[in-house]
Chain A
Amino acid sequence: MAPSRGLLRLLTRPVSSNPNPGSRSMSLLRRAYTSFAEQLANPANRVQSYISHSRDPFVNLSIEDYILRTSPLDSTVLFLYTNRPCVVIGRNQNPWLEVNLGILQAANRQGKTANDTEPPGIGDVDLVRRRSGGGTVFHDEGNLNWSITCPRTEFTRDKHAEMVVRALRKVGVERARVNERHDIVLDQGHRRHPSDPQDTHQTAYTAEEGGPRPLKVSGSAYKLTRARALHHATTLLASPNLHTIPQYLHSPARNSIQAKGVESVSSPVGNIGLDVDKFQQRLQEEFTAMYAHQGKVPSVQMVGEEHLNIPAIRKGYEELKTDDWMWSQTPQFTLLLEDLFGTTIEINVHHGTIQTLETKCDRDLGDMLEELRTALVGEKLQDIGDWVQFLQSRIEPWHSDYEIVADRLEKFLPVPQFGRP
């Protein structure tokens, strides 16, 4: 096979990297700015490839969105990034329903997970709402995120998942395949049976009915605009936190919230067992080979926090960090506080604001309901902070019954303050 020109170029030209952006002079920074923005928007660059050295999920998602909106309409762009530990929910999801918000902050965790025999050791975990659809995932340094932006007319959900499976198979991960939901799974069957090696949708290890379920190693999400399509996905290569992920993604309120958004489909996950940097390289090669016919791939460029000086990226970054985006984008939902003084209190939340507070049956709760209404209706959840403190400041005279309500609310609707600058 004749080596593709793009691949040779990749291997022979040293990859530029800026490990310490803080020490660069202004002129260098300006050059970094102009070269990324220019290169991205240049219509001659039909195939492009970027890697982020930033571990900040907000920076990476903003750069990704910038790529979606700025790259030329007929171009295909690969972007690879890894994040520090964080939980990322889909565009239209409900964080209270999907995430165990109470343990996100390390300080809170000591008390809440006393039963856990293993030390958490993760530190603070960020919470991020991304711009694409799909479910909730946990990111850490053992997880490689890849995103491909291509023309909408050429987009299919399987196309790039298959590309990644090909790259995996080339490094010996024979069990990888694309499943019906366009995710990448590792088949867990014990017996080998014949299978076409070129078929990325089946492997030789597919288990029979009742056999071990395949392990999900990559989940995808998409964002489609008029002319472009973004497909991004996680790849669990070597996460040290596999055993604790389920804790973060199990919300205590999952049986108490009725919501309209997209629910996550939960699957057992596993590590592929590859080195992140090495696989990153492999994926680059596979991408280059796949698009060799479309044009030369410019040498891989590094991006990161320094590109926040591009106004569009900074704007997106700021937006992702606002409380409004994080909390108030949640679609309408109802929280049910059951078995509370013999009745159920229903709290309806829309646009992140408490709309109504009702009881199922008209048990005489006396003034309590009215007091709660006055205190809470019209309040934005993101402004509440600690429920007990909040209610105490609003309701007089204080009653221990209110404390019970407040504790429930704290359990189901906590709003961790991330103190984002």
Chain B
Amino acid sequence: MKTTMSREAARFLCRSAFPIARAGPRSRVQLDAVPKRGFSGTSRLKVLKPYILADIGEGITECQVIQWFVKPGARVEQFDPICEVQSDKASVEITSRFDGVIKKLYYEPDDMAKVGKPLVDIDIQSEISEADAVVLDGGAVKQADEAPNKQPEAKEQALEVDGNDSAAVTKDVPSQAAPSLPAEPAQEEGRPRKPPGKHASLATPAVRHMVKAASLNIEAIEGTGKDGRVLKEDVQRYVQSAKTAATTPPPSAAPAQRLEDRTQPLTPIQSAMFKKMSHSLSIPHFLYTDGVDFTSLNTIRKKYNAAREKSQRITTFPFILKAVSLALQQYPLMNARLDTQTNLGKPQLVYQGSHDIGIAVDSPSGLLVPVVRNVQSLSIEQIAAEITRLSELARTGKIGTEDLKNATITLSNIGSIGGGVVAPVIVSPQVAIVGIGRAKTVPAFGKDGELIKKEECMFSWSADHRIIDGATAARCAEVVKGYLEDVETMLIRLR
């Protein structure tokens, strides 16, 4: 089928573990005549395609073919090795993406194969069984009328594959087609029909009149009377069900007309948030905001990241955590805990020794605040690793309560979504919280008054004004700003 083919073709062409250089010119897909009406059992494809040698990284443009594992005429299955190639220090096994038959080998062993050029010709003879067709096509039986609809869908999937090669290599056929599947057979099936009784068309004159008046076919009505006779109630029931069937489509056709209210209890995360934030209602928040110049920080970061690959790159967030931790050493009041329980009537402050910074993370189930412990003793690299670990746990829902409790101060990186100035809400018993907005490129003035670009990020500090006066909060914020704008000053204080 065209649809399957173009999707297959796209995946075939874009296979690459390193999204560095794209494979060369796309080759045309040759389509054989496709039968219009496929059997519901299997449908066969015949596509002869050149299999391009994908980029193997390191800027290598050609590599030597060491040995072939197949010959022309050999049947291969997906993931069967086709050949082994070698480039300077790496020997690479090339595997097949499809089931099919090898038709032609483009090189002899010891020849230099060019990256981006065809390696073999493969005749994709994937026999798509009903199960496969169901996953790939969303219903083999309905190809004829659905084919034009599926075409744009297949193209989109092709584009998706382009954009994310390494994931595409390992991911299986998109399961998006699958959900549409269960709906269809249910609709097609309808209600199982009872075999018509002996006197299915037998009815009293009164009933016949009813049937005629309603312009119905008496055979279509299920008779519950003796020997399947159609009774008055049967007709009435039939008419009723016809009406409801008729009335249900309109609401879906005009959804804007009426939206129903929905009542739902709070999810666990929402109720936790409700409780916590209700406590926070009693805290008078002092909001202090300022922009922090990220230009120098980003320069250093880029230099560090240039030598590392994706999983080890660091964002600005670990730097911010470290800067805040350093500032907390100078302003320990910001890291204190307000204790109003121990001595009722006499609130006291507990100056906490470790900087356990909570990082607000948006997870599929809602807001979670995992805690990075002892930031004062961690290096920026370690902080980054810890953030990654905790975010991953939070995102997959695997985070434990140990990681979620007893933060001494919280940082909310709302900037990862967006925002400039925010007014974050302090989580008691903490006394401060920092909200970090999105870094934006803004115009500014340089040393000599010339117009320059700078990357500015809004930091919004909320402090408990029962404990912390404005000046302290402001000074602490300024210290953090200083550290981030001039990362060298952090080095002097780094432990």
Which A residues contact B (CB, under 8 angstroms)? 1-2, 90-92, 131-135, 152-154, 156-159, 182, 198-201, 220-227, 260-262, 293, 329, 331-332, 350
List A contacts of B344 (CB < 8 A): none
- 19 A-B contacts (beta carbon < 8 Å): A1-B379, A2-B374, A91-B66, A132-B91, A133-B87, A134-B89, A153-B170, A157-B89, A159-B312, A201-B307, A220-B89, A221-B90, A223-B93, A224-B17, A224-B56, A225-B95, A260-B110, A262-B64, A332-B110
Q: Which residues of B contact A154 (CB under 8 A)?
A: 309, 311
Instruction: List residues of chain B with CB within 8 A of the CB of A222.
Output: 89-91
Is B159 in the interface zone, CB < 8 Å from A?
Answer: no
When A331-B64, A331-B109 are in contact, do A92 and B91 touch as well, CB less than 8 Å?
Answer: yes
Residue contact A153 to B110, C-beta cutoff 8 Å: no
Bound CA–CA A293/B372 (angstroms):
14
- Report the number of A-B residue pairs with Cβ-Cβ less than 8 Å: 94
B307/A199 in contact, CB under 8 A: yes
Cα–Cα, bound, A166→B309 (Å) = 17
Q: Is the CB of A226 within 8 A of B93?
A: yes
Determine how close the nearest CB of chain B comes to the CB of A197; give it in whole angstroms.
Answer: 12
Q: Does B86 contact A (CB under 8 A)?
A: yes
Q: Which B31-80 residues have C-beta < 8 A from chain A?
A: 56, 58, 64, 66-67, 79
Q: Mark B295-333, 1 if CB is under 8 A from A, else 0.
A: 000000000100101011000000000000000000000
B416 within 8 Å of A (CB atoms):
no
Min distance, Cβ A153 to any Cβ of chain B, angstroms: 5
Identity of the chain A residue whose Cβ is nearest the Cβ of B78 in the assembled complex: A226
B108 CB to nearest chain A CB (Å) = 9
When C-beta atoms are compared, the residue in chain B nearest to A178 turns out to be B307
B residues neighboring A (CB under 8 Å): 17, 56, 58, 64, 66-67, 79, 81, 84, 86-93, 95, 109-110, 166, 169-170, 304, 307, 309, 311-312, 373-374, 377-379, 382, 385, 388-389
Distance of A72 from chain B, by nearest CB (Å):
13
Complex contacts, B92 vs chain A, CB 8 Å: 223-225
Q: Is the interface of B mostly helix, strand, loop or mixed?
A: mixed
Residue pair B377, A1 in contact (C-beta under 8 Å):
yes
Contact B87 A153 (CB under 8 A): no
Q: How far is the CA of A91 from the CA of B88 in the complex (A)?
A: 10
The answer to whether A262 and B86 touch across the interface, beta carbons within 8 angstroms, is yes
* A226 and B374 form a contact (CB under 8 A): no
Chain A residues with CB under 8 A of B166: 153
Min Cβ gap A173→B in Å is: 20
With A262-B86, A293-B389: A227-B64 Cβ-Cβ less than 8 Å? no
Q: Which residues of A contact B87 (CB under 8 A)?
A: 133
CB-CB nearest in chain B for A183: B89
- Are B385 and A224 in contact, CB atoms less than 8 angstroms apart? no
Q: Is A224 a contact of B91 with CB atoms below 8 Å?
A: yes
Set of chain A residues within 8 Å of B304, measured between Cβ atoms: 198
Decide: A133 and B90 in contact? CB cutoff 8 A.
Answer: yes
A249 to B184: give the CA distance in the assembly, Å.
70
* A133 pairs with B89, CB closer than 8 A: yes
User: Given known contacts A2-B374, A153-B17, A261-B64, is B90 in contact with A223 (CB within 8 Å)?
Assistant: yes
Sorted nearest first, the 10 A-B pairs with minimum C-beta distance are A222-B90, A134-B89, A133-B91, A331-B110, A224-B92, A226-B95, A225-B93, A133-B86, A153-B166, A92-B86
What distance in Å separates the Cβ of B359 from its nearest Cβ neighbour in chain A? 16
Selected from B84, B88, B382, the residue in CB contact (under 8 A) with A262 is B88
Cα–Cα, bound, A223→B85 (Å) = 10
Task: Please give the distance in Å from B307's CB to the nearest CB on chain A.
Answer: 6
A132/B90 in contact, CB under 8 A: yes
CB contacts (< 8 Å) of B56 on chain A: these are: 224
Q: List the A side residues contacting B66 at CB < 8 Å.
A: 91-92, 329, 331
Most buried by A among B307, B374, B382: B307
A224 touches B309 (CB 8 A): no
9 other A-B residue contacts (CB within 8 Å) besides A91-B84, A224-B17, A224-B90: A90-B89, A134-B88, A153-B166, A154-B311, A200-B307, A223-B91, A224-B91, A262-B89, A329-B67
